[in-house]
């Protein structure tokens, strides 16, 4: 009863994508950038397999991150609505109806490194992207993104990312400052006129001479990882993956690790990571693509997130985001507690392990017709 009275008396300000991130939205703690939790409307439409279920049963069966009683209360107080209207808990949903879930949103934290501006031109902005920060809103991230941070801390908007960097990858990121410039970059990339360079720290002594890996890559969205696909299209087994090519040149080695220049000719998901694994020299802290043998021998205790949650693909609907993120420290003094929220009083959502580190993969240079943009090498790229 107390929780319901608190809920009734709360003054809630709902945020939408129209509400820009602001500097005061961020809380820095223990080396991480957190987002002050905020209210947000997640929208989905009833799938055919959902039709005929009660609104409460739909949520309880499809989104198991919250208890059944939460969904009952959420429907009763209007935090779950159908076609913009409150409905009874027994309401039966119909195909294609719009369902809104109003949540007290807790974003996962990212590392608290600054987003360093490298060059600021009238129609182009380049930055050094820190690892762990996604480029743009995707999955559970909205404000804790490069685009959100640049808007909040520098007032830079709108911004149009020209290329993708996985969340755990650092380095050069090019952002157009208007749609027409973004379209020019897109056309040059699609025409194969843009040359990309990365550096990686890999396991073992990489061969001295240039290595070219020309192996198809098949991305499994469900598993969040890619595989190198070797086969003969004329044989019995068809090749599903997309053609991919990467050039590798050793920069240095200390006998245990090597620093390698990576030049992707194509742009497939996790291409550099998979091609290095295929070449027998995976990135030294890439737990997603290290074999068990290599992990046990060379990288025990050095880890990166098993899967990059955001790799630059289209944002998910974020319909119910509670089931796969982080327990943060107790932070009651930093934000208002929502009595119905299943994450409060913690800053971060449930499930986040909080022990990731950036991949040893860094974008250093992009060049095209009449232009070159560069980013300094990271500290890990120097072998002592």
In the predicted model, is pLDDT for residue 10 greater than 70? no
Fold assignment, 113-310+356-381: Pseudouridine synthase (3.30.2350)
Question: What's residue 9's pLDDT?
Answer: 44
- Point out the catalytic residue in the list 25, 73, 166, 325: 166
Kindly report, residue by residue over 189-244, the tens digit of the pLDDT.
999 999 999 999 999 999 999 999 999 999 998 888 999 987 655 555 567 789 99
In order of 152, 212, 269, 327, the CA distances from 249 in angstroms are 39, 9, 21, 41
Contacts of residue 191, Cβ cutoff 8 Å, sequence gap at least 6: none
Question: What's residue 230's pLDDT?
Answer: 78
Q: Report yes or no: 263 and 246 within 8 Å, Cβ to Cβ.
A: yes
Contacts of residue 69, Cβ cutoff 8 Å, sequence gap at least 6: none
Peptide bond into 158 cis (omega under 30): yes
CATH, domain range 2-110+314-352:
3.10.290.10
In the predicted model, is pLDDT for residue 300 greater than 70? no
Domain regions of the chain by residue span: 2-110+314-352, 113-310+356-381
Going by pLDDT thresholds of 50, 70 and 90, the confidence category of residue 336 is confident
Question: What's residue 350's pLDDT?
Answer: 81
Whether residue 166 lies in the annotated active site: yes
């Amino acid at each position: 009863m107390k929780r319901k009275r608190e809920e009734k008396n709360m003054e809630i300000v709902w945020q939408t994508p129209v509400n820009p991130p602001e500097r005061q939205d961020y809380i820095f703690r223990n080396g991480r950038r957190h987002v002050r939790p905020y209210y947000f409307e997640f929208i989905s439409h009833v799938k055919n397999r959902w039709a005929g279920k009660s609104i409460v049963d739909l949520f309880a069966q499809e989104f198991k991150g919250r208890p059944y009683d939460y969904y009952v209360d959420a429907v009763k107080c209007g935090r779950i609505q159908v076609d913009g209207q409150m409905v009874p808990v027994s309401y039966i949903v119909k195909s294609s109806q719009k369902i809104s879930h109003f949540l007290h949103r807790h974003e996962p934290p990212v590392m608290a490194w600054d987003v360093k501006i490298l060059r600021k031109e009238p129609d182009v902005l380049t930055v050094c992207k820190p690892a762990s920060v996604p480029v743009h809103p995707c999955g559970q991230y909205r404000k804790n993104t490069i685009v959100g941070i640049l808007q909040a801390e520098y007032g830079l908007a709108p911004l149009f990312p020209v290329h993708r960097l996985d969340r755990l990858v650092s380095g050069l990121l090019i952002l157009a400052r208007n749609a027409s410039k973004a379209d020019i970059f897109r056309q040059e990339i699609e025409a194969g006129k843009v040359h990309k360079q990365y550096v990686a720290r890999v396991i073992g002594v990489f061969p001295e001479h240039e290595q070219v890996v020309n192996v198809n890559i098949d991305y499994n969205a469900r598993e969040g990882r890619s595989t190198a696909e070797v086969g003969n299209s004329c044989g019995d087994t068809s090749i599903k993956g997309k053609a991919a090519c990467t050039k590798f040149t050793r920069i240095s080695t200390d006998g245990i690790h090597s620093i390698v220049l990576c030049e992707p000719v194509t742009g497939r998901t996790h291409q550099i990571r998979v091609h290095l694994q295929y070449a027998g020299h995976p990135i030294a802290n890439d737990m997603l693509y290290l074999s068990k043998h290599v992990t046990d021998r060379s990288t025990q205790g050095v880890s990166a997130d098993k899967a990059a949650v955001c790799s630059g693909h289209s944002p998910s609907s974020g319909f119910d985001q509670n089931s796969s993120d982080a327990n943060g420290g107790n932070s009651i003094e930093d934000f208002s507690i929502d009595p119905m929220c299943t994450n409060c009083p913690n800053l971060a959502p449930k499930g986040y392990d909080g022990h990731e580190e950036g991949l040893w993969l860094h974008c250093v240079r992009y060049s095209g017709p009449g232009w070159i943009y560069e980013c300094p090498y990271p500290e890990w790229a120097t072998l002592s």
